[in-house]
Amino acid sequence: MHIESHGSPALIGLDWGTSSLRAYLFDAVGGVMDTRQSTNGIMRLPKPKEAGGFDEAFEAICGDWLTAREVPVIAAGMIGSAQGWAEAPYVTAPANCAPLSGGLKTVKSSRGVAVYIVPGIIERSRLPNVMRGEETQIFGALVAHPEFADDGRTLIGLPGTHAKWAFVVDGSIERFLTFMTGEVFGVLRDYTILGRTMHPRPGTDEAAFLRGVDTARNCGDAGMLATIFSSRTLGLTGDLRAEQQADYLSGLLIAHELLGLSSHLASEHSTLADWTLGLIGERALCRRYELALERLGCTDVCVLQGTTEHGLFHIAHDAGLLSTSRAG
């Protein structure tokens, strides 16, 4: 769902991650008036944090917006981590949107503007789990797509470097799992012998990708460590071309992730079919997950768009930030 923009600026929202920064300029009803993106993630600042790196990146992406009209600023993501501008303590799961709106951490920029940082969420279980930024996307998805969560039991996947699967029940994030699928793929491709014979190309070779999915499903009883070497050996035997090996490995790893998720659900006497499934993330990567899920028998999955901007605006609105806007 997209809200058309009308009227004057009322809020700036920042999605500030490890390697990138995206800014949204909102009007008073949540319409997006403008967007910008930069590579100034928290680990790629123009100068060190101690030398004003966050201030410089902040001014570069939205300083002129604030000069034209001073409005509240809300930020989510790794900006609230220990390596970020200011650490926003985690909210403990289960959690709905209210403790996020009520637990914003404030940091002042060099121009004196308050930046309100959204807390992450921690699951304090035998294997603790954390998220920063994904919680904003998840609650944004529930706002942007209320029909998606009508049955009260949704399972939302967020593919990426550290893929998350969040169990959302009646509007609360009950718990979640993290799979380091994207990072492991990058390491295997770039720093191990598996990558020596790979020649990746743009796009996705769906046949090679699905072969990887099938390998994990049909030959993966011994686990991922027993199957990933096949991305090299199938090349040595001439069964996979160099251009196909990266997509095959991608399919293998994503399928192992989904099979692990299914195994986790089975331990709780549940299946993927018992949940309304949604995906949030970069379109091409979500497409890979759709293909893998279809191959594993899950054909009813919804790719959710516009989640970050809806989440930022919704949390700011619930926190009462919009009433602090001042005419410029």
DSSP 192-232: SGGGGG----SS--HHHHHHHHHHHHHH-TT-GGGTTTHHH
What local confidence, expressed as pLDDT, does residue 5 receive?
52
Contact assessment for residue 14 and residue 8, using Cβ atoms and an 8 Å cutoff: no
Are the folds of 9-132+314-324 and 178-303 the same?
Answer: yes
What residue segments make up the domains of the chain, in order of their start? 9-132+314-324, 178-303
* Token pair belonging to 57: 């990146």
Model pTM? 0.92
What local confidence, expressed as pLDDT, does residue 147 receive?
85
What local confidence, expressed as pLDDT, does residue 327 receive?
38
73 Cβ neighbours under 8 A, 6+ residues apart: 11, 12, 13, 14, 62, 66, 109, 113, 114, 115, 116
Task: Determine the topology of domain 178-303 in CATH.
Answer: Nucleotidyltransferase; domain 5 (3.30.420)
Q: What is the mean pLDDT of each run of 10 residues along the chain (328 residues)?
A: 67 96 96 96 93 95 96 97 96 96 96 97 96 97 88 92 96 96 96 94 94 96 95 96 97 98 95 94 96 95 94 97 58
> CATH for 9-132+314-324?
3.30.420.300
Share of the chain above pLDDT 70, in %: 96
